[in-house]
């Protein structure tokens, strides 16, 4: 099969599974090749299946994190985003954040600590711990 045929197979499969989108798996069958072997999503992605699985898990974790970050105050969210480089990967020191926000480094530290504690509580509540 050509890559184009795989893309059509993927689209057809996604349309057929649209109602169960949350249950879609990388290991779902999308058809068979010329020899009659089953083809799964993971087979056509062109990379190691473990790497793909890890990347998908990472993306899901990031989605959960952003969902919880939205529950923080704008100031808490801003401090954590800058401190841990959540937007651009560039982590900032508390001193840099303090200078940018026009507040003291110790205040940044308190905001960071409070925000991390709130996130920890949110994740613990979500997992039922």
- The domain segmentation of the chain, as residue ranges, is 3-44, 49-127
**Predicted pLDDT of residue 9:** 59
All residue ranges of the chain with pLDDT < 50 are 1-4, 6
- Strands, E assignment, 1-128: 29-32, 38-40
Sign of CA dihedral 106, 111, 116, 118: positive
CATH architecture of 49-127: Orthogonal Bundle (1.10)
**Predicted pLDDT of residue 62:** 75
**Predicted pLDDT of residue 53:** 60
**Predicted pLDDT of residue 3:** 45
pTM of the model: 0.55
Beta bridge partners of 38: 32
Q: How far apart are CA 37 and CA 69, in angstroms?
A: 44
**Predicted pLDDT of residue 104:** 95
């Amino acid at each position: 099969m050509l890559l184009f045929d795989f893309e059509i197979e993927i689209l057809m499969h996604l349309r057929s599974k649209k109602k169960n989108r949350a249950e879609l798996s990388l290991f779902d069958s999308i058809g068979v090749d010329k020899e009659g072997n089953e083809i799964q999503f993971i087979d056509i992605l062109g990379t190691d299946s473990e790497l793909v699985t890890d990347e998908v898990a990472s993306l899901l974790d990031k989605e959960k994190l952003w969902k919880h970050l939205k529950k923080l105050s704008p100031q808490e969210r801003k401090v954590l985003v800058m401190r841990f480089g959540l937007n651009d990967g560039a982590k900032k020191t508390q001193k840099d954040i303090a200078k940018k926000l026009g507040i003291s480094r110790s205040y940044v530290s308190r905001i960071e600590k409070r925000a991390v504690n709130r996130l920890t509580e949110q994740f613990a509540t979500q997992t039922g711990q």
